[in-house]
Amino acid sequence: MADEDSRFSHTREQTRFARELRRTVSKTERRLWPHLRSGKIGAPFRRQHPIAQYFADYCCVPLMLVVEVDGHTHSAMRDAARDLRMNELGYDVMRFSVQEIDENLDGVLATIHSEVQRRLEGREVSGGTR
């Protein structure tokens, strides 16, 4: 993995901005976070985790998995560029719309849980990390 994505390579400005983002989350993100925090879904996630020049809404670093919440301000072109960069760094991105989370939180959680379990099982079979 690139040094720029190391847990300890973030600038003070990135850390400050990530903290600010965590304080200003949407109602939908606030509903999703309790289910992802502390490994409740099977693996630990972080909020507003810096990856290169971006901030992932939720990131499971050990499984290289990003969960993004797409609101009305999201642009398909910008999202594609973000996803491409995160993919280049080894992360896979799962995107869910605000409407999808608001209307079907259980289904979204089941989808994320299923992907987490698939990745955990893959690690046990291969004996290595992704």
Instruction: Kindly report the backbone phi and psi dihedral angles of residue 49, in degrees, each rounded to the nearest multiple of 5, phi listed first.
Output: -85, 125
To 10 degrees, the CA torsion angle through 93, 22, 45, 86?
A: 30
Q: What is the pLDDT of residue 101?
A: 96
- Domain ranges in the chain are 3-126
Q: Any alpha helices (H) in the chain, and if so which ranges?
A: 12-23, 27-36, 76-88, 98-103, 105-126
pTM: 0.78
pLDDT, averaged across the chain = 83
Question: For the residues 49-58, what does the mean pLDDT come to?
Answer: 90
pLDDT band at 7 (very low <50, low <70, confident <90, very high): very low
* Burial (CB count within 10 angstroms: exposed 0-12, middle 13-18, buried 19+), residue 86: buried
Q: How many CB atoms lie within 10 A of CB 53?
A: 9
How many other CB atoms sit within 10 Å of the CB of residue 111? Answer: 15
The Cα–Cα gap between 130 and 41 comes to 19
Q: Region 10-32: what's the mean pLDDT?
A: 69
Per-residue model confidence as pLDDT tens digits over 26-35: 789 889 999 9
Does residue 47 contact residue 22 with C-beta atoms inside 8 Å?
yes
What's the CA gap between 32 and 22, in Å, rounded? 13
Could you please state the CATH topology (level 3) that the domain comprising 3-126 is classified under.
Answer: Endonuclease; Chain A (3.40.960)
